[in-house]
Structure 1
Amino acid sequence: MDKLSLIGLILALGAIALGYSLEGGVVSALINVPALIIVLGGTLGAVMLQSQLPTFKKSLEIFKWVFTPPSYDMEAGIEQVKEWTSTARQKGYLALEEYALTTQDPYAAKGLSLLIDGTQEQRLRDTLDIELTLERERLLDAARVYEAMGGYAPTIGILGAVLGLIQAMAYITEPQQLGAGVATAFLATIYGVGLANLLLLPVANKLKQVIEEKMLYHELIAEGIVAMQTGETPANIELKLEAYIAERHVSSGY
């Protein structure tokens, strides 16, 4: 569980609710079902219109990464590559077949399979690079779905505001109906802006960070497998791959 994401979401919503309450507002007054339907339905419909089905489905699958991101341990990855290297040097590449069949990482399994099949160095590197590039683009396209939703939501909110005002003007002589229309107008705008800036855009950016961390880990695995193919020793491979640990710290900011 990514506690920082959870705390951030609670803090953002809590601060808005608390500030509104301190101004004398009633939090329950911020709940307006028609406005919510307009913003959520309109935003979702717009992004479904622009997205392909596999990309949209993938975006739903990776949403959980915001709060429960997959863990990529660079140190453990290096140790795994060293173990593969030692096994290959002692027993030959065919001994790696068990690792290829049992690993939970499809990318690593494919790389090991290519190594076992005797793929030449340049072809091995090219294949792994292409696979990595396609995987990155596929995942980033899924993350961009939330980025697109963050762009549409405020506009849909304005559309809801206009619809609410139209409804209000139709009941200009009936104060109760007029008030409901005005409430929908203002709340639709709040929902659109709030949804975009408190949830959708942060979700898109968080997913991009998780994806880049995954790609960095797979780059480490690819580099290790290519180094194995060229016959480098476990010690030399470790020295080479340690650069990825430093790169992760730089990109993560710690």
Structure 2
Amino acid sequence: MDKLSVLGLIIALGAIAIGYSLEGGVVSALFNGPALIIVLGGTLGAVMLQTATSTFKKTLSMSHWVFFTPNYDIEKAIEQIKSWSHKARQEGYLALENEALSHPDPYAAKGLSLLVDGCSEQKLRDTLEIDLMLERDRLLESSKVYEAMGGYSPTIGILGAVLGLIQAMSFITDPQKLGAGVATAFIATIYGVGLANLLFLPMANKLRQRVEQKMLYHEMMAEGVIAISLGESPLNIELKLEAYRTERPNVVVE
């Protein structure tokens, strides 16, 4: 679990609740079912309207990356690449066929398969770079979905406030009910702005960060496989991949 994400959300919500209480407000008054339905439903519907089905499903499947981040040991990955290099130098590229078939990461498995098939260094590099670029673009679409939700949410909140005011005007002759109705109407605006800035936009930025971490991992795997194709020694490969080790000790994989 990403404790920083959880802690940040708790601090943000807690600060708002405590500050509102210190001003004399009642926190329970901020909970309003109809307003929440309008904001969440309207935001979700607008995003679904503009998003492809495959992208929307991918976004849902990636959402847990924000709070639950599987870590991958780069140190272990470098040692694995070194062992591949050692085996390839001793037994040839065909000795890596079982590794290509059993590796859990499809990107690394494809690189090994191309290596076993005897692709040239340039073809291997071009193929892996294209795959890396396309994968980055595909995964970043998920962060854009949350960005869109952060954009729609405040506007839908204002829409909810207007609808609430329209309803409140029906109590124009009853000042007590009118005041309560107006207060309730503005809760929709709070939901819209709050969800955008406390949840949707931060989630978009965190997902973007996770995607870049995963791309860094795949970039390292590509450099390792390409180095093997050039016949470099395990020691030289380790030195080449040293920068990945020092910059990001742990990164995300899907």
TM-score range, shorter chain: over 0.9
**CA separation in 1, counterparts of 2:185 and 2:193?**
13
| Deviation per residue, 1:55-77 (Å, 9 max, x gap) | 11111111000111121322222
Cα distance, 1:134 vs. partner? 0.8
C-alpha distance in 2, partners of 1:134/1:87?
30
Deviation at 1:140, TM superposition (A): 0.2
Which one is further off, 128-137 or 239-248?
239-248
- Per-residue Cα deviation, 1:61-110 (whole angstroms, up to 9, x for no partner): 11000111121322222111101111111111111112112211111001
Residue in structure 2 matched with residue 183 of structure 1 by the alignment: 183
State the distance in 2 between where 1:186 and 1:72 align: 45
* Structure 2 counterparts to residues 97-176 of structure 1, below 5 A: 97-175=97-175
Cα distance, 1:121 vs structure 2: 1.1
**After superposition, what is the alpha-carbon deviation per residue over 1:131-170, rounded to whole angstroms, capped at 9, x for unaligned?**
1111101110011100110111011111111111111112
What is the match of residue 192 of structure 1? 192
Query: Secondary structure of the residue that 1:72 maps to in structure 2?
Result: strand
Give the percent of matched residue pairs that are identical in Structure 1 and Structure 2. Answer: 73
1:176, distance to aligned residue in structure 2 (A):
5.3
Q: Which structure 2 segments of 5+ residues have no match?
A: 250-254
Q: What are the superposed Cα offsets for residues 12-51 of structure 1, whole Å, 9 maximum, x if unpaired?
A: 1111111111222111100111110110011001111110
Is the Cα contact below 8 Å between 1:58 and 1:142 reproduced in 2? yes
Give the letter for the 1:82 counterpart: K
Deviation of the 1:246 alpha carbon: 3.7
Contact 1:77 1:217 in 2 (8 A): no
User: What is residue 230 of structure 1 aligned with on the other side?
Assistant: 230
Return the offset for 1:248. 3.3
Q: Within the alignment, does 1:218 sit opposite 2:250 as a pair?
A: no
Asked if residue 63 in structure 1 is aligned to residue 27 in structure 2, the reply is: no
> Which deviates further from its counterpart, 240-249 or 165-174?
240-249
Paired positions, count: 250
Q: Distance in 2 between matches of 1:176 and 1:48?
A: 39
Output the CA distance in 2 between the equivalents of 1:17 and 1:171.
Answer: 29
Contact 1:136-1:215 within 8 A present in 2 as well: yes
Distance 1:26 1:105 in 2: 51
Partner of 1:52: 52
Matched, 1:38 2:38: yes
> Equivalent residue of 2:134, what SS?
helix
State how far apart, in whole Å, the 1-side matches of 2:221 and 2:91 are.
20
Q: What SS does the corresponding residue of 2:25 show, helix, strand or coil?
A: coil
Q: Is the partner of 1:4 in helix, strand or coil? A: helix
Match of 1:252 in 2: none
Offset at 1:177? 4.4
Judge which range, 98-107 or 216-225, deviates more.
98-107
- Paired residue secondary structure (2:104): coil
Retained in 2: the 8 A contact 1:72–1:214?
no
Aligned partners of 1:143, 1:175: CA distance in 2, in Å? 45
Q: Could you tell me how far apart the structure 1 residues matched to 2:91 and 2:220 are?
A: 23
- Normalised by the size of structure 1, how large is the TM-score? 0.94
Instruction: Return the alpha-carbon distance in structure 2 between the equivalents of residues 175 and 45 of structure 1.
Output: 35
